[in-house]
Structure 1
């Protein structure tokens, strides 16, 4: 499973996970790592994937599945990562990353619920206002008197991170209200 994303310093990264099955049919899923990439073209991502598999002493001929989101760099029929992998190992069946579809569906639903849309926008505005400048960040740190609780960015499509971002707003709500 491969997912491309952009980190807070605007560098493209690739998340790489491996799902395997042992002789007892026990499934395990392992996070292998985050890898910086100069771009998110299918050929570049394929080079990274081959490198990772080689470093882990995993033969691509044993690959039986590949799972990505719907981005053309991943899913494209002609230049997508899945095409390059399938050319080398046709038995590696491509499956769309279903959790990504669910993520997009939830995002779309919440956008149409005024109370949820408004609270998410308010949380995003709180977070962005504090995090937009070093001066604001420092003022908020000073205002919290050395506490270690901070604010996390509120990413549009990363719901696990969104949950922790909202949690940080709730934890800091009284301080944020005083701060503003």
Structure 2
């Protein structure tokens, strides 16, 4: 009898600040080369991508400054928390990212670390930095849609209340 594997996507860490600070142009899903204690620490749901970035070096993609804390039950085999980690991507994707990231204002940022079918993955994005007024505009748009949704919901509640009073 075959052993059933976990399916689906279990989110470990998310970089919300990246979506606020950058215009996301294109996203990619990559595997990561990890040690055993890093995987165990991720399975406990502990990680941070706040200062993380991706750099293409020598035809390979590397994830820098992603914080995966040391595994509590680890021994001398424990890993360094902020070491650089190799990303597993197809050659064509790496070449495309490398050429695009050379353009001014473009960078590659990690958006999320998650487990997909039992394997640790990282979602990275080609992004362009937002100006301060772009950030304010985005916040204003979010606030406007939230207010309009609230107004619509309140109107629907009033309408339902009136219908129940008549009926």
TM-score by length of 2: 0.26
Please state which structure has a larger fraction of its residues in helix. 1
Please state which structure has a larger fraction of its residues in strand. 2
Select the structure of larger CA radius of gyration.
2
